[in-house]
Structure 1
């Protein structure tokens, strides 16, 4: 299983951004749909 840091490095975002997306809080944090998709795809891939 990939760590938050692995996913963050793959996508080029912070660990906190990855955490928000994976915990379902991305929309409240105003993270774009494109970025959400990139992070979830990287999480699935890694």
Structure 2
């Protein structure tokens, strides 16, 4: 992963990076919630 100098980025680029990071965090949080929920539920095959 290349090193990025934040000071050289435009405000738009900084905000885009922040949005991308937040999307990753939300996805990870949802995966963790789903995994913990699935562990507590018995598996049923329909």
**TM bucket by the smaller chain?**
0.3 to 0.5
More helix by share: 2
In terms of Rg, which structure is larger?
2
Higher relative contact order (CA 8 A, sep 6+): 1
Superposition TM-score, scaled by structure 1 size: 0.33
